[in-house]
Structures are given as structure tokens and as C-alpha cells.
Amino acid sequence: MDELTLLKVRELEIAVRVWNPDAPRTLIAWHGLARHGGDFDDLARLLGPEWRVLAPDTPGRGLSSWSLYPAHDYLYSHYMTIAKAVLDHFELERIAWVGTSMGGLLGLLLAADKDTASRIDRLVLNDVGPELEADGLASLASYFAVPHRFTRFSELEAELRRHYVGFGIENDDAWRRLALSSARRLPDGSWTHHYDPRIGEQFIHDTPRDLWNDWRAIRCPVMVIRGSASTLLSAESIDNMRESRPDLVSLEVPECGHAPMLDRASQVEPILDFLTQPVQPPIPSDTRAPWWRRLFGQRRAPAPE
């Protein structure tokens, strides 16, 4: 990253990692459940100097504060409050959003909410959607429900390679960088993951909702990325998403599970194409055909003989 911005939301300090701070275009990249904004270093490099990338660390992760009240702070409703604070701090009226897993669902909620929908210009969902596989969710919940402790750093790195095999990381250097940014030393000298072990309580306290209603409310262009071996997002789910959004742009990443790291040109170039392609703005509701034409159907005037 090139800069680090720290802002306060309620009693929590939120760290926002910034790449290319003087770039003319801006996007927000939001990480998954137990990750942090540093995961987007390669994405920022591959997007190039035209894009300022803002990657917040969600509370309980990375450089942001841990909450003393997980039942109130480790919830999507609070993450939405934080996201709005980030938008306001950087004076962003309309922004592209790239979200991995939890970060994608957060973007989906913002794009569907009447108070924030106008601020999401384009939405990229990385291996997540309105319908998630129950077994995959259960696996995540059970893994993060218990603390993990490792006697040696090498043991932590080996566990990261096992647990995050779905990221599709291909070389030892990348795995080592992931381990260095994911490790936290405990007072007794052992090692654990960087995040607050209580983030898993989100699965207990957060209120379930029908995300299909949110999905149908989105009006901005959407792209969805899926790892071909994803345990969370099925190919059938993407087909269902396309039923209400025929313009949905999709990308399947081979030899990858949950979730692609967005760390190579083959993944980032399609995102860049999506972010820069021109789109027609939605037709305002007050310019639609009169009610009587919508009721009886619009009839074309007969062709001249």
C-alpha cells in the first residue's frame, strides 16, 4: 500500500489501506470474513496507476480495532455504517465496489439499500451471491468458531496453505507473504491468526434475511466471479441470478475454489473491462410510459401502406 488512513466510527478505529492515492479513478475493495485489506495489493498493482484502490480492514481484522461488543459490531448492519463512513470520509458520491465473499455481500446490501444504492456505480461480487451453499457456510462457521494456536510459525503457514487452498495461490513466495500478513504472536510465544477469534460470532448474532429481495433491488451493473471448485457459490446460483439480471457479467476461474485472490492478469483484466465499459443509465421511473399504456400494453402505430 502507499498510504494508510485511520478513521473513527463510534469507538472503533478503522484502517483503510490506499494504493495510488492520486489516481483519477477510485474503487473500494472489501475483503472476506477472516481476511484484511492487504489482500488487494496485487489487484491494485494490476489495475494500474489510473485507479486509486481503497481497502478497509473490517473491525476485528488487520489493523482495525477489535470490538468489545461483538454482538453489536460484528454484524452486516454495522459494516454498512462503516462503509458509509468510509464513503463520506473520502467524499465519494459514486464508486465502483469489488467485494470478496463477505465484502461482496456488503456491497450487495449497499447497492440494494435505498439510502446508499446511488453511491454504488458498479458491483463486482467475488465468489458470493444471494444464494450460498449451506455446507460451505457451515464449514466456515465451524472453522471460525474456535481459536487456532500454533507452536511454530511454520505450522501456521502450513495451516494457511491447507485452509486457503481455494485461493488458487501458485507459488511459495505468495504463500509466505500471505502468512506474514496473517500471523499474530501470542504472549506465550505461540502463533495464531491475525483476526479477533470472536468474529465468528457473526454467524450467531446477525439477522438472516432474504438476499434475493436485495438482489432484485440492485440497479447498477453487476459482475460475479466464481471459483470453478467453489464450496460457497454454485454455478446454478449464477444461473438463478441471471434470470432477473440478463445483463449479469460472469467469470469462472479454473482450478480455484473459494475465493479467487484477484492476483493475476487473467482475473483482473476482465474486472478492468467491466469497470470501464460504457453502460446506459437506468431510465428514471418518472419517464416511463403513462399508466394507461402500461396497463393495456403499448401498441405500435400501424406501418404506413
Instruction: Kindly state whether residue 96 falls inside one of the protein's structural domains.
Output: yes
For the chain, the domain total comes to 1
Q: Is residue 281 part of a domain?
A: yes
The answer to the question of residue 179 being in a domain is no
Confidence at 278, pLDDT banded by 50, 70, 90:
confident
Tell me whether residue 301 is in a domain.
Answer: no
Model pLDDT for residues 215-270, shown as the tens digit of each residue: 999 999 999 999 999 999 999 999 999 999 999 999 999 999 999 999 999 999 99
Indicate if the pLDDT at residue 300 is higher than 70. Answer: no
- CA atoms lying within 13 Å on the CB side of residue 152: 3
Q: Is the pLDDT of residue 159 over 60?
A: yes
Please report whether residue 155 resides in a domain. no
Digit-coded pLDDT (tens) for 120-145: 999 999 999 999 999 999 999 889 88
Task: Quickly tell me which residue has 504472549 as its cell.
Answer: 187
130 alpha carbon, distance to own chain's centre: 13
Identify the weakest region by mean pLDDT among 57-66, 69-78, 187-196, 296-305.
296-305
Q: How confident is the model at residue 146 (pLDDT cuts 50, 70, 90)?
A: confident
Q: How many C-beta atoms surround the C-beta of residue 215 within 10 A?
A: 20
pLDDT given for residue 281 in this prediction? 55
Instruction: Give the span between the Cα atoms of 90 and 80, in whole angstroms.
Output: 16
- pLDDT tens-digit map of 90-112: 999 999 999 999 999 999 999 99
Query: Does 194 fall in a domain?
Result: no
pLDDT tens digits for range 37-72: 999 999 999 999 999 999 999 999 999 999 999 999
**For the residues 173-197, what does the mean pLDDT come to?**
96
Residue numbers of the domain that contains 81: 3-131+209-296
Per the CB < 8 A criterion, the answer to whether 35 and 46 are in contact is: no
In a domain? residue 285: yes
Q: Is residue 197 part of a domain?
A: no
For the domain that residue 248 is a member of, what is the CATH number?
A: 3.40.50.1820
Start-end of H helices in the chain = 41-47, 70-73, 76-89, 102-112, 134-144, 153-163, 172-180, 202-205, 211-217, 235-244, 265-276, 291-296
